Structure 1
Amino acid sequence: MKTIPGIGEFFARLVDAEIDDIARFRSPKKLAAYAGLVPSTYSSGGKTYHGKIIKQGNKWLRWAFVEAVAPAVASDPQLRSQYEHLKFRGANKARVAIARKLLTIAFQVLRDQRPYEWRGANGRESVSVLTLR
């Protein structure tokens, strides 16, 4: 868990305690809804509107991943480029989007029981955080 950019010792323990068993969640979307990192929706007249993130959900998990965005963006060039691309919509929207991406990465890391691996721009070069090649 600590191999994910932005997740240190404290956040790894907090996420581990709050998620408990990852098998409870069938998909990253279910975990994002549990954490409260999904937009609210309002439908009327055949149109659906998306609003701010929902207030329900695990506030500690949501807080941990939103706070992990700054160090993650500073250390991972791929996340930094995605953040910069999304920032024109608003800095807070970009932070929430990257927080949800980090949550999806955490879901895959916990489900597969493997460390996070950074993929290069061409998709072929990969650097494992634990063992540098």
Structure 2
Amino acid sequence: MHRFKKVGHFASYCRCVASTRESNGKKKGEGNKKAGNKYLSWVFSEAAHFAVRYDARIKAFYERKRQKRNGIVAIRAVAHKLARAVYYMLKEQIPFDVNRAFG
């Protein structure tokens, strides 16, 4: 985890954030969609699906997001939160706490 200075860098490496590039509300190129680890992207998406299925608090977060956007965006938001949680778990050597991640 020392490779990543901030949690956002880890989330970006896991492809859990958008790769849009904008300036003043204008699109500036396509971005770098394939940067990062495609396997981590897949793993966090799968973990998000299982988390939504088996945890009530995560499911509530997912449903709030899904009401505003579509299901794909909502599941990616859950995956992003899980990636952030994993970063802090590995950096601080602490167990996963759903209250801290989705509270």
TM-score band, normalised by shorter chain? 0.7 to 0.9
Matched, 1:106 2:57: no
Shift of 1:41: 1.8
Which 4+ runs in 1 deviate beyond 6 A?
none
The TM-score normalised by the length of structure 2 is: 0.81
Of residues 66, 69, 92, the one that matches 1:87 is 66
Shift of 1:35: 1.3
2: distance between equivalents of 1:94 and 1:33? Answer: 17
- The question of whether the paired residues in 2 share the 8 Å contact of 1:35 and 1:59 is answered with yes
| Equivalent position SS for 2:19 | strand
Residue type of the alignment partner of 1:63: W
Return closer, same or farther for 1:111/1:72 CA change in 2, 3 Å cut-off.
same
| Equivalent position SS for 1:119 | helix
Of residues 97, 108, 129, the one that matches 2:77 is 97
How many residues matched? Answer: 98
Return closer, same or farther for 1:42/1:114 CA change in 2, 3 Å cut-off.
closer
Q: Name 2:25's counterpart in structure 1.
A: 47
- The question of whether the paired residues in 2 share the 8 Å contact of 1:38 and 1:54 is answered with no
Q: Which has the larger radius of gyration?
A: 1
Unmatched segments (≥5 aa) in structure 2: none
The TM-score normalised by the length of structure 1 is: 0.64
C-alpha distance after superposition, 1:7-54 (max 9, x if no partner): xxxxxxxxxxxxxxx11111210001111111122325x2156x9x93
Of residues 10, 13, 17, the one that matches 1:34 is 13
Shift of 1:96: 0.7
Return closer, same or farther for 1:112/1:56 CA change in 2, 3 Å cut-off.
same
Residue type of the alignment partner of 1:41: T
Return closer, same or farther for 1:105/1:41 CA change in 2, 3 Å cut-off.
same
Residue type of the alignment partner of 2:25: K
Of residues 56, 59, 63, the one that matches 1:77 is 56
The percentage of counterpart residues that share the same residue type is 33
2: distance between equivalents of 1:108 and 1:48? Answer: 34
